[in-house]
Structure 1
Amino acid sequence: MAIALLYLYSSNCLAEGQYGLARFVSFIHILFLCLSIFIYTMIGGIIIKFILQKSNLLVENQTRNAFAISLLIAILFAVFFEDDFIYYLWNQI
């Protein structure tokens, strides 16, 4: 079933309801990208927070700063490396 749906999506033909299928696949793609950014933000935020705690720097709001930096890094990776980077990291887990 999944192979048939992928074939219909990759054929770029908009006949007999394939437009709805293409919109559904695009929605899933956007959802997957947002989920990936969220996961990498959480992982990066935890790592940066750990580094800030171990370095004994007097940084106010360490948690907020760590997750803000991590979110920016995750978005920049998603923008510059597009989907290849996200799919590569996601498939390695």
Structure 2
Amino acid sequence: MVSVTARKIRDHSIERTTHSGALGRVYTGYLISYPFVGRGMVIFRDPHGHRMITTPVKRVLGEPGGKMIYVETENSVYRLEIHGEPLFPMKAPGE
């Protein structure tokens, strides 16, 4: 688990309008595990259980130990900024 700030930088969704309000939106919280292709990415946003769950991940760019990664989902692309060290070890895909 690691503290992250995720910013939506692209929206591929079919229902997108010309002025997509979610584009550029910032989500701050805790990433429980490294994003896996084929699974939704989950960011816990506050102690009350609110969370952001994405559509399934298509691609992850960046190093598992790096401070910034890009996650492409079926509908969007997110830039994740990692804050500090993981509270628990996060395994990269294939480990």
- Normalising by the smaller structure, the TM-score range is under 0.3
Considering only CA atoms, is the larger Rg found in Structure 1 or Structure 2? 1
The structure with the greater share of residues assigned to strand is: 2
The structure with the greater share of residues assigned to helix is: 1
Q: TM-score, normalised by structure 2?
A: 0.24
Q: TM-score, normalised by structure 1?
A: 0.24
Q: 1 or 2 for the larger relative contact order (CA 8 Å, sep ≥6)?
A: 2
